[in-house]
Amino acid sequence: MAFISSGYNPEKPMENRITDIGNRHYGEFLPPIIKKNFGKWIWHEILEPGVLMHKAESGDVVYTVRVGEPRLMTVQYLREALDIADKYCDGYLRFTTRNNIEFMVDSKEKLEALKKDLKERKFPGGSYKFPIGGTGAGLTNIVHTQGWIHCHTPATDASGTVKVVMDELFEDFQKMRFPAKLRISMACCLNMCGAVHCSDIAILGYHRKPPMIDDEYIDKLCEIPLAVAACPVGAVKPKKKKIISERTGEEIEVKSVEVNQERCMFCGNCYTMCPSMPLADHEGDGIVIMAGGKVSNRITAPKFSKVVVAYIPNEPPRWPTLAKTIRKIVDAYVKGAKKYERLGMWAERIGWEKFFEVCDLDFSHHLIDDFRDPAYYTWRQTTNFKFIENFPYEYNKMKGDIILKAK
């Protein structure tokens, strides 16, 4: 493995340096038919799941085949997509914001050949390489984050959880039988670099133990004031401690921090600022499910997703409880919602209390908001509610401990 220089000279980093050039102009990458009809499209139709047809003022028609991709991919997989684009699409392709690939062709003949080709391509283990689907009133691909493959703060894996949920719901990636589109998103910790907070269903990795403190090293590895300031609930404060040194065995005084554990809501912001405060834990970490969000302004305003399942344990490699729980929510939605109703619109129409009944989900204090101002607005300030079967609502039957003891 001999080092091969690109031409960069480390002695003189500014020599021939090109910077601040930004991205390439999209105009260089548009397929000819797209370029020709730019801004002149007049209508579209979904010919079948995964196949779109767009009509332009000029009379031109472009057919798009949408396929799911794993987001995390190798150059070999990507090259295969490029081979397909070379064979059928004049050397162009595009990607959607939800990790799908779109192949565009200008005739029905090419469309049929392209579809046939895509359907035949499988990985050695049998999974589809380029499953066609993800359109209309069905399930599209799950947008997600890195998880255990590449991130330092995840509470679960991303690619693995997405794979099992997409396997579970695969049929609906290739069908359009839902009342409206269903958008599932996945973020592997509360930092939500996947911003899943407005999704029909969100899968969210969540820690449940406050950070540990690496007292002997924290002052060397971290700016303690930054770790203190990073805590949104003011649970971290500076603290001098006397400890027995791991290195010398002697008692030493160190500058460290103290965490008010009862205040911690496990966001991991301290750890993001300070690697000496790890919080990942094989027993503590798991998954939260949120539901009922959307970003579209259609019929109703965009909505935040609501927490509907407080905790699902990490069960690699196939997370069966996660897949089963999402299946239950999707089935109840499909059964109960009216045409055009997104999941959140349906839940609001029937009432969130009814949602828990029809989805057969547990309820506990974890699902009642207690974080700052918005909390009050989520409690019920009306006598309008529904009596539902699976929860006690009569005073003497409600008595009990709210704490769910760990097993």
Partner 1 sequence: MPKHETPLLDQLISGPWPSFVDDLKTYAEYRRKNPNNVEYQIPEDVVDDLLGVLELSYVDKETHWKHGGIVGVFGYGGGVIGRYCDQPEKFPGVAHFHTMRINQPNGKYYSTEFLRGICDLWEFRGSGILNMHGSTGDMVFLGTRTEQLEEVFFELTHKFNQDLGGSGSNLRTPSCCLGMSRCEWACYNTQEAAYQLTHEYQDELHRPAFPYKFKFKFDGCPNCCVASIARADLSVIGTWRDEIQIDQEAVQAYINGEIPPNGNAHADGDWGPFDIQKEVIDLCPTGCMRMEDGKLVIDNKNCVRCMHCINVMPRALRPGNDRGASILVGAKAPILDGAQMSSLLVPFMKMEEPFDELKELIENIWDWWMEEGRNRERLGELIKRKGFRELLKVTGLKAIPQHVKEPRHNPYIYWYEEEVPGGWQRDIKEFRKRHLR
| CA dist 239 → 135, 162, 229, 250, 257 (Å) | 55, 41, 14, 19, 5
- How many of the chain's residues bind partner 1 (CB under 8 A)? 144
User: Does 13 help bind partner 1 (rule: CB under 8 A)?
Assistant: yes
**Interacting positions 303-332 with partner 1 (CB under 8 A):** 304, 314, 316-318
Using the contact rule CB under 8 A, the part of the chain among 21-29, 212-220, 346-354, 358-366 near partner 1 is 21-29
Alpha carbon distance 142, 69 (integer Å): 10
CB of 265 within 8 A of CB of 366? no
Pick the binder of partner 1 from 5, 248, 382, 396 (CB under 8 A). Answer: 5
Nearest to 156 by CA among 284, 277, 273, 327: 284
Q: Which stretch binds partner 1 (CB under 8 A): 93-101, 243-251, 350-358, 399-407?
A: 93-101
Residue numbers 220-279 binding partner 1 by CB under 8 A: 226, 229-230, 232, 267, 269, 275
Q: E strands along 137-295, which residues?
A: 184-187, 201-206, 236-244, 251-259, 286-291
User: Which residue has tokens 């799950």?
Assistant: 142
Whole-number Å distance between alpha carbons of 44 and 30: 19
Using rule CB under 8 A, residue 46 touches partner 1:
yes
Nearest to 294 by CA among 283, 307, 286, 303: 303
Q: Which of 242, 250, 371, 389 binds partner 1 (CB under 8 A)?
A: 371
Site residues for partner 1, 375-394, by CB under 8 A, read none
Q: How far is CA 279 from CA 56, 285, 291, in A?
A: 54, 9, 26
Q: Which of 79, 255 has the CB closer to partner 1?
A: 79
198 binds partner 1 (CB under 8 A): yes
Q: Are 101 and 69 in contact (CB under 8 A)?
A: yes
Residue 367 sits in the site that holds partner 1 (CB under 8 A) = no
In the set 61, 113, 195, 254, which binds partner 1 (CB under 8 A)? 195
Is residue 59 part of the contact set for partner 1 (CB under 8 A)? no
Provide the minimum distance between the beta carbon of 65 and partner 1 in the complex, in angstroms, as a whole number. Answer: 13
Phi and psi at residue 138, in whole multiples of 5°?
Answer: -150, -165
Does 127 contact partner 1 by CB under 8 A? yes
Residue in 66, 110, 181, 342 binding partner 1, rule: CB under 8 A: 181
Question: Using the rule CB under 8 A, which residue among 63, 88, 103, 128 binds partner 1?
Answer: 128
